Amino acid sequence: MNGSQEGASHRGTDLLLRRLSDGTTQNVGNVAQYDFDDAGKVVAYTVDAADQLGNGVFVLDLASGTTRALDTDRKTYDSLSWRADSTDLVALRGEQPDGKTQRENVLLAWTGAGSANPSPIVWDPSTDNSFPSGFVLSEFSAPRWSEDGSRLFVGIKEQEDKPEESSEPKANLDIYHWKDVDLQSEQIVRIAQLRRATYASALSIPSKTFVRLADDAIDVTTTADAPRSVDPTPYQHDPPEGDPSRADYYRIDTSTGQSDCSSRSTCSARWARRPTAAGSCSSRTCT
């Protein structure tokens, strides 16, 4: 891809597609993201152009050279992704309200996006009463398909007001509490990552049912087959012994968001699983 001009207000660049059979090159302009399906027959891409003119999600059939628009709007498109071994596609569409820090997104999905007649799915969290107030669907956690395509795992984040600009000097002070688990040096390194952290959630595609999986007390790691809640508290003050990231993991029922106490296992960062006593969950993790 050719980069956009320095200082440009949009992210789109030139995407060059080279046809190996005859050596011809096709230039697709203002492309922000692109992704080939696993079969290599279709490429999906988002457009992010100057003044948001022509922004949208498009698919290009590599055999015929036909391009189709799946969705267009003067908004920002992000988090484009195919489902593995299929032509189901997902993306986010949103804009950042004035005076707010987070973009407010709508989820867009298509089954059979590589076909002539894809089936669109649109989910707007702002119209869903089960979606927590004061939160947004965040592009910081790209939507991920479940293996069977029945669910999408997404991330939500609290919306915040932009701080008022001030001419007063800003304080430059780092505070460390003796009860903090992470050392101050580690907190400084991780601050950018923590500012982009989201709460894992699940959306059932057929019913558009939203279920929050994580909160301030329960962290969740999502995989294509089964999300798991993570409880590192029993080991936070243990000697690391070469394995500092141990935690108890529990399977989560994606239809309710509840952790399964009987599935408890202790894992390390290398996913070396050591079974522990079943059912001995704390009330913080299981109900």
Q: What is the DSSP string of 63-107?
A: TT--EEEEEE-SSEEEEEEEPTTS--EEEEEEEPPTTBSS-EEEE
Q: Please count the other Cβ atoms lying within 10 Å of the Cβ belonging to residue 29.
A: 12
**CA pair distance 26, 58, nearest whole angstrom:** 15
Q: Are 81 and 143 in contact (CB under 8 A)?
A: yes
Pairing outcome for strands 144-145 and 135-137: unpaired
CA 212 from chain centre, in angstroms, equals 14
Per-residue pLDDT of the chain (287 residues; tens, 9 = 90+): 655 555 567 889 999 999 888 889 999 999 999 999 999 999 999 999 999 999 999 999 999 999 999 999 999 999 999 999 999 999 999 999 999 999 999 999 999 998 989 999 999 999 999 999 999 999 999 999 999 999 999 999 999 999 888 888 887 777 878 888 777 888 888 888 888 999 999 999 999 999 998 887 667 776 656 677 777 777 776 655 555 567 777 788 888 888 765 555 555 544 333 333 333 333 333 44
Q: What is the spatial distance between Cα 34 and Cα 70, in angstroms, rounded to a whole number?
A: 14
pLDDT score for 273? 37
**DSSP classification of residue 182:** S
- Other CB atoms closer than 10 Å to residue 286's CB: what's the count? 19
Report d(CA 35, CA 40) in Å as an integer: 10
